[in-house]
Chains A and B, each alone.
Chain A
Amino acid sequence: MNIPANLKYSKSHEWVEFLTDTCARVGITDFAQSQMGDIVYINLPLEGADVVCGESFTDIESVKAVSDVFSPVSGCVSNVNGALDDAPEQMNQSPYEAWICEVQGISATEELMDAAAYQAFIEEQ
């Protein structure tokens, strides 16, 4: 399982890459994509939308099911990875490059884990 050391992780299997103290990129982890199976669609959030820690901010459809994706941070969506509209399979192929959106003005975060803690967490799953 690929778990890059430079990222932070939530218990609901999202990764966070802090670009500054209050701005971050968000995506789903390798573990999340492996559980979902082949992803066929993402309902991307809108630019300018507010996201709240622990609340669903987008959903992803795989051949198995539609899964909610929970925001690991609170803030405002400042940029969206529109490429996923046409090629949602990027989340399967390279989950850490296939970022979903950037959030700025981050005012709160989930309890985030580092790579080692996340590794231990998914081994328990």
Chain B
Amino acid sequence: MKLLYEISAEGRALSLLPKLDVPRAELPENLRRTSPARLPQLSEIDLSRHYTALSKRTHGVNDGFYPLGSCTMKYNARVNEEAAALPGFSRVHPLQPVHTVQGSLRLLTDAETMLCEITGMDRMSFQPAAGAHGELLGLLLIKAYHKHHGNVGRNKIIVPDSAHGTNPASAAMVGYQVISVPSNAEGGVDLDALRAAVGEDTAGLMLTNPNTLGVFDKNILEITQIVHEAGGLNYYDGANLNAIMGVARPGDMGFDVVHLNLHKTFGTPHGGGGPGAGPVGVKDCLVPFLPAHQPIKLDDGYAFEDAAHTIGTVKSFYGNFLVVVRALCYILTLGREGIPEAAENAVLNSNYMMHLIKDIYPMATDGICMHEFVMALEPLKKQTGVSAMDIAKGLLDRGIHPPTMYFPLIVHEALMVEPTETESKSTLEQAADVLRELHKLAHDDPESLHQAPIHTPVRRLDEVGAARNPRLRYAFPEG
């Protein structure tokens, strides 16, 4: 497929750019270009066809089933997009006088109140741009808390071995040492190992519940208590909140700080490079350290305020505002009854699909799962040579986006399936039929799965070559 630069032709142009609506400013002489920028020259139809062609080569939620575990690739209703496109929200500027954006501030504080209600937190900052950014902020708040209280030696963050890879990475970014604790037979945190790991050097614990095995840790109250008694704080990774929203609250489980992925759980499409939002909710003990520009409701309207010991800003202005618009729209559309119903259906769908295939595909854990389940394909690979990767490629040929592969790391040949609540019973049954067909094919004709995919725009990509010799910049042809 040709790139924009390659379909460019001298003299073509289009008129998509709006007129300049601010006073023209001249750049200082030394900052001006000496030669024109190397930009492609295209007509509107060239551009339109290029992006339509690209969209035909991809697979999104609108193309088919997308059970990518831990990513919550649910269908997001158009009404959220309509709300975000309202000119009153989409055309405000962050530097406008506060009295001209009272509605936007009300939206932020309303969304804060409702998301705090859902998570059991006291306040929330919308600044972080995505989940991992939220983790970074959450840990910076924990660090500020310990520093403020003179807890000098607390430099370790405890992370279970089933955690998302971002958890240890975020802890390292903040300068913490990471202590990994093993999982028990049920897939939860090994309590004895946790007791042995905590101490005077514990800054906190990072936990996803339900975890990446799709298991809700029944010992959660004991886990958070062990950390609290050791003087640490508990961080809730909200990546899997879709399974429990409106049903159970991290704040009631003993967590002091949470991040949410609004672009997974609350109405913004996930993927495609964003924008997302990873707001961070905190209990009262962390409120004094929240990022600057926190919107608040006063008697005579809305304003911004800085917390007493604010850590400063982690993103310009107020975060990705339009993602928060979608989240509030989503919450108001579903309401108090709909939010828990969505979570219940996410869990029901996951269990239903798991039960349709568990007689032939072993699962990483026994019993009921939450919003996702993890298939363990090691036995299949030993018997037939067909790997989790091969099954994933076979799914691509049959119009289904593969589940998350080779994660969590503690399960060999893992495929992690998250159907989400927005899929119908018949879609789940069709997907189960495809997985059963692939299982049979693995035994009858394994070579055909090693060769898959054959119907996609590109076959297997050289991911090893891409990782060893990445070419990250477009090389312009000479001349």
Contact = CB atoms under 8 A, between A and B. Distances in A.
11 contacts: A35-B412, A38-B464, A40-B464, A41-B467, A41-B468, A61-B467, A63-B463, A63-B464, A65-B409, A66-B165, A67-B409
A89 B463 CA distance: 13
A2 B467 CA distance: 27
A40 B165 contact: no
A104 B87 CA distance: 68
A41 B467 CA distance: 8
B406 interface: yes
A70 B464 CA distance: 24
B407 interface: yes
Nearest to B169: A66
Chain B interface size band reads: under 10
Question: Interface on chain B toward A: helix, strand, loop, or mixed SS?
Answer: loop
Given A63-B463, A64-B406, A88 B468 contact: yes
Nearest to B165: A66
Interface in B436-479: 463-464, 467-468
Given A40-B464, A65-B407, 16 more contacts: A35-B412, A38-B464, A38-B467, A40-B467, A40-B468, A41-B467, A41-B468, A61-B467, A63-B463, A63-B464, A64-B406, A65-B406, A65-B409, A66-B165, A88-B468, A89-B468
A116 B406 CA distance: 30
A64 B468 CA distance: 13
A110 to B, nearest CB: 17
Interface in A40-69: 40-41, 61, 63-67
A64 B165 CA distance: 13
Nearest to A67: B409
Contact of A63 (B407, B409, B412, B467): B467
B429 to A, nearest CB: 31
A120 B464 CA distance: 31
Contacts of A64: 406
Contacts of B409: 65, 67
Contacts of A35: 412
Nearest to B463: A63
Contacts of A41: 467-468
A64 B464 CA distance: 10
A67 B406 CA distance: 12
Contacts of A65: 406-407, 409
Q: Which of A38, A61, A64, A67 has the most CB of B within 10 A?
A: A64
A46 to B, nearest CB: 17
Contacts of B406: 64-65
A14 to B, nearest CB: 18
Interface in A65-114: 65-67, 88-89
A82 B6 CA distance: 40
Interface in B150-190: 165
Contacts of B412: 35
A89 B412 CA distance: 22
A19 to B, nearest CB: 30
A67 B180 CA distance: 13
Nearest to A66: B165
Nearest to B405: A64
A35 B412 CA distance: 9
A34 to B, nearest CB: 12
A35 B177 CA distance: 27
Contacts of A88: 468
Contacts of B463: 63
A65 B165 CA distance: 10
A38 B412 CA distance: 16
B161 to A, nearest CB: 11
A105 B464 CA distance: 37
B409 to A, nearest CB: 5
Interface in B225-269: none
A23 to B, nearest CB: 28
A40 B466 CA distance: 9
Among all A-B residue pairs, the 10 with the closest Cβ atoms = A40-B467, A38-B464, A64-B406, A40-B468, A63-B463, A65-B409, A63-B464, A65-B406, A63-B467, A40-B464
Contacts of B467: 38, 40-41, 61, 63
A63 B412 CA distance: 14
B289 to A, nearest CB: 31
Contacts of A66: 165
Nearest to A41: B467
Interface in B385-411: 406-407, 409
A98 to B, nearest CB: 15
A89 B464 CA distance: 10
Nearest to B407: A65
Contacts of A63: 463-464, 467
B163 to A, nearest CB: 13
B8 to A, nearest CB: 34
B155 to A, nearest CB: 16
B455 to A, nearest CB: 23
Interface string B412-426: 100000000000000
A65 B464 CA distance: 12
A88 B465 CA distance: 12
